[in-house]
Amino acid sequence: MVPILEVTPEATSTADVIVVGGGVEGLSIAWRAARRGMSVAVVDPDPGSGATHAAAGMLAPVSEVTYTEEPQLRLGLASLALWPSFRDELEDDSGVALDYRSDGTLKIAYGADDMAVLDELAAFERTLGLRVERLTGRECRKLEPMLAPSIRGGMLAGDDAWVNPRRVARALLAALDRHGGTLIADRAAELTPRGVRLASGAVVTAPRVVVAAGSWSPLLLPGLPVRPVKGQILRLRGPVGFLTRCVRGLVHGTSAYLVPRGDGEITVGATVEEMGFDGRVTAGGVYELLRDARELVPGLTELELAETTVGFRPGTPDNLPLIGPVDATGPGGESLEADVLAATGHHRNGILLTPITAAAAAAFLTGEATPEIVKFCDPGRFSN
């Protein structure tokens, strides 16, 4: 595992890059920077325990497309194209299998009104050049025999994929260790002119600071338009092969998804709640998730309820992330010597956008050309 660096208030540690945040975005940026020969320190009291731990891991830009979010679609497709090489490099560096699967997403409709919505959305997807296949209810059940006999039909988004986010975090920590990165198991309290002050009072200095702290990023960059969007999510445990692909469904207009893992786990989610940092698992949230999922796959009620989790998606006003340099000041309004980069606000697509975020951030850090598609993610777009 990554060496944990002890920094006392009396001492100052230095690095080429400080990454604040140990979710998949922060860890992937740190890994990419370390592979380029930079000394990297990741500041996080418990890496991989936040939104990454709760995430379902869908890599599904096609099945998640909406009418008003074409930039998000283009960004997601660009990142999905990077995932196979990202997976291969990370598995080689870490020795950890990511449980990456690319069998597509089966979108199903419970009733006639739900099917009308899917048909309309599929027509829109085809105008964007996306590959979706219309299926009858019988064809859906042939692909997934555990589906309810009453479902009306569906669509197969064959280019979608999914991965186990917890394995990705574990692999990133192992890969970062291999390339000499260090972990500071503390909370970042504030930016200083030359780096970051920790909750313990210690200071870590670096010429470059990356703020990848998800919903907590505004604590270091006040005014950053990022808010927590609460999501409750369930993990069931059953036989391997209970489902073979990601299933997304509409049940009386409400969206639900089920994501199978290679070990028999099935992730069921997720609520979308504007509740701030309310970390409670509620009876209502669990009931709604199981109710809708049961309409799609009745047999899941026989599975073990292994885990209930709450995560906080970092939302932005336009649902696009913030990736790029920001104008930042110290706690007293003083100018900073360190260059500050934001990599946050990924909302529901944090796992999907990990490869392109890491590539863009590494390019910013080294002065290389950044992917053109990332121009949509300029953190300054809300200041005009």
Q: Is the peptide bond before 116 cis (omega within 30 degrees of 0)?
A: no
The predicted structure's pLDDT at residue 383: 80
Say if residues 81 and 160 touch (Cβ distance below 8 Å): no
CATH code given to domain 105-158+228-308: 3.30.9.10
* pLDDT at position 37 over 60: yes
Say if residues 32 and 341 touch (Cβ distance below 8 Å): no
pLDDT tens-digit series, residues 183-209: 999 999 999 999 999 999 999 999 999
- Under DSSP, the state recorded for 62 is T
The predicted structure's pLDDT at residue 60: 93
Nearest residue to 153 (alpha-carbon basis) of 108, 219, 188: 108
Strands in the chain per DSSP E: 12-14, 17-20, 40-43, 58-59, 105-109, 133-136, 153-157, 161-162, 182-184, 188-192, 195-198, 203-205, 208-211, 227-237, 246-251, 254-260, 265-269, 304-315, 322-325, 339-344
DSSP 144-206: -TTS-TT--EEEEETT-EE--HHHHHHHHHHHHHHTT-EEE-S-EEEEETTEEEETTS-EEE-
User: Hey, what are 214's tokens?
Assistant: 């998800």
User: Hey, what are 73's tokens?
Assistant: 């679609």
CATH code given to domain 1-99+161-226+316-384: 3.50.50.60
Q: Tokens 């200071």, residue?
A: 203
* pLDDT at position 8 over 60: no
The predicted structure's pLDDT at residue 384: 60
Q: Rounded to whole angstroms, what are the CA distances from 326 to 196, 230, 378?
A: 15, 26, 9
* pLDDT at position 122 over 60: yes
Mean pLDDT of all residues in 8-23: 82
3-state secondary structure of 4: strand
Confidence of residue 365 (pLDDT cuts 50, 70, 90): very high
Q: State residue 109 phi and psi, 5-degree precision.
A: -115, 130
* pLDDT at position 3 over 70: no
Average pLDDT, the chain: 93
The predicted structure's pLDDT at residue 252: 85
Strand 12-14, strand 203-205: pairing = parallel
Predicted TM-score of the model (pTM): 0.95
Q: Rounded to whole angstroms, what are the CA distances from 181 to 33, 37, 195, 228?
A: 9, 10, 17, 29
User: Hey, what are 136's tokens?
Assistant: 């009858």
Q: Where are the chain's structural domains? A: 1-99+161-226+316-384, 105-158+228-308
Rounded to whole angstroms, how far apart are CA atoms 130 and 382? Answer: 30
